[in-house]
Amino acid sequence: MGRVITIAAAQLGPVPRAEQRGPVVARMVALMERAARVRATLVVFPELALTSFFPRWAIDDDAELDNFFEASMPGPETQPLFAAARRLGLGLCFGYGELANRAGRLQRFNSSALVGHEGGLIGHYRKVHLPGDREPQPGFEYQHLEKRYFESGDMGFPVWRAFGGVVGMLICNDRRWPEAWRVLGLQGVELVLVGYNTPLRNPEAPEHDPLVRFQHRLVMQAGAYQNATWAVAVAKGGVEEGQPMLADTLIVAPSGEIVAYSKTQGDELVVAECDLDRTQSYKTTIFDFAAHRKPQAYSRITECTGAVPPP
Ligand code: CDV
């Protein structure tokens, strides 16, 4: 029978800049109710699911910026998500802007929450790889100012025993870095949950634009295969505040094969039955890390930091 969980990747269409939490949370609860009807047990939402992707704007006013962040999780406005998880018996993962208060020092992170079937917070992850700039770039059609608004995550890449397996989270740009996947893989991860907001146009390197979808699939499929894990990538799609976003929500098997993907740009559930035991056929053969990895050799390579010697 295996350890089968039915996962619903809940893609979201655009969220306007001025949208309050109420309507977005209502959209998310509606998707959770649909997921429960198809007997899903885990629902995964995108990066910064609760708001518009605000790093596209230069925001100087702290009060305005704070509107995009949650000071507690759950908070009064996100409580309905936790209540729905409990009522429907669903696990939940969603991205949000985290406003943390560490001994009076305010910190902002790009975070993801993991919620159990009983509606309790299992844990959260803070995005490590922050793309873009600190200052607005002259002439760019859209900014990407994650470095301005967030600190880099300070929790490493944790995994949790949850939903009958070993679960980790990455957020958007993290998925392009093999070391993020590998740190999860080395902890025996069996399911990696990834929310993202990937624009279709990159003003810094427009020559990459035709490859956005290809490169997204490339890293998701390679990350899953090389670490013998299921992987779920969930998009914000559509044209959000004039900026076209990649949809292409995916569920990827440990073989690297895409088993389900979105067909629209808007709110959509992408559902697959994921047997966590399928990870074993890779973890015990080609990617049996204990048997085949060679960390001693890798440290020699990292010692070679100088220039290539002359011939
Ligand atoms: N939100 C993101 O991290 N987006 C990046 C873009 C800017 C390249 C991504 O890796 O998809």
> Following DSSP, what letter does each residue of the chain receive, concatenated?
---EEEEEEEEB----TT--HHHHHHHHHHHHHHHHHTT-SEEE--TTTTS--GGGS----HHHHHTTEESSSS-TTTHHHHHHHHHHT-EEEEEEEEEEEETTEEEEEEEEEEE-TTS-EEEEEE-----S-SSPPTT-SS---HHHH-PPPSS-S-EEEETTEEEEEEEGGGGG-HHHHHHHHHTT-SEEEEEE--BS--TT-GGGGGGHHHHHHHHHHHHHHHTT-EEEEEEB-EEETTEEE----EEE-TTS-EEEE--SSSSEEEEEEEEGGGGHHHHTTTT-HHHH--HHHHHHHHH--SPPPP-
- Measured from the CA of 53, which atom of ligand 1 is nearest? 1
Q: What was the pLDDT predicted at 298?
A: 86
- Span 107-133, mean pLDDT? 98
Kindly report, residue by residue over 121-141, the tens digit of the pLDDT: 999 999 999 999 999 999 998
**Beta strand 69-70 pairing with 105-115:** unpaired
Q: Inform me whether the pLDDT recorded for 306 exceeds 70.
A: no
Two structure tokens written together for 58? 């230069």
> Is the pLDDT confidence value at 176 over 70?
yes
Catalytic residue among 47, 70, 190, 268: 47
Q: Does the CB atom of residue 173 touch ligand 1 within 6 A?
A: yes
State pLDDT tens for residues 57-70: 999 999 999 999 99
Q: Which token pair is 169?
A: 């989270």
Q: Set out the domains of the chain in order of their start, with CATH numbers.
A: 4-303 (3.60.110.10)
Quickly state the pLDDT bin for 303 (edges 50, 70, 90): low
Candidate from 18-22, 186-190, 294-298 with smallest mean pLDDT:
294-298
Q: Is the pLDDT of residue 309 over 80?
A: no
How many A from CA of 197 to the centre of ligand 1?
6
CA distances for 112 relative to 49, 126, 212, angstroms = 9, 7, 23
**Number of Cβ within a 10 Å radius of residue 193:** 26
Block residue for tokens 């990159």: 202
Instruction: Identify the active-site residue in 70, 93, 127, 236.
Output: 127
pLDDT above 90: residue 40: yes
pLDDT of residue 190 exceeding 90, the answer is yes
Indicate the residue type of 196.
Answer: Y
Q: What is the pTM of this model?
A: 0.96
Residue 28, C-beta contacts closer than 8 angstroms, at least 6 positions apart:
10, 12, 45, 49, 81, 94
| Least confident stretch, 2-6, 40-44, 85-89 | 2-6
Q: What mean pLDDT do residues 13-24 have?
A: 98
pLDDT range class, residue 299, cuts 50, 70, 90: confident
Contact between residue 112 and residue 124 where contact means Cβ atoms under 8 Å apart:
yes
**Does pLDDT of 1 surpass 70?**
no
Q: What is the distance between the alpha carbons of residues 11 and 245, in angstroms, rounded to a whole number?
A: 12
* C-alpha dihedral sign at 63, 197, 170, 232: positive
Give CA 1 to chain center in angstroms: 29
pLDDT recorded at residue 184: 98
- Residue 35 has which token pair? 């997921």
Report cis status (omega within 30 of 0) of the bond before 74: yes
% of the chain with per-residue pLDDT over 90: 94
Mean pLDDT value across the chain: 96
Quick check: 44 and 193 in contact, CB under 8 A? yes
With a 6 Å cutoff on the Cβ, whether 197 touches ligand 1 is yes
Say if ligand 1 is within 6 A of residue 110 CB.
no
For residues 237-241, average pLDDT:
98
Query: pLDDT digits over 240-250, tens only?
Result: 999 999 999 99
Q: Hey, what amino acid is at 72?
A: S
Local confidence band at 311 (pLDDT 50, 70, 90 cut-offs): confident
Residue 47 annotated in active site: yes
Task: Note the residue count of the chain.
Answer: 311
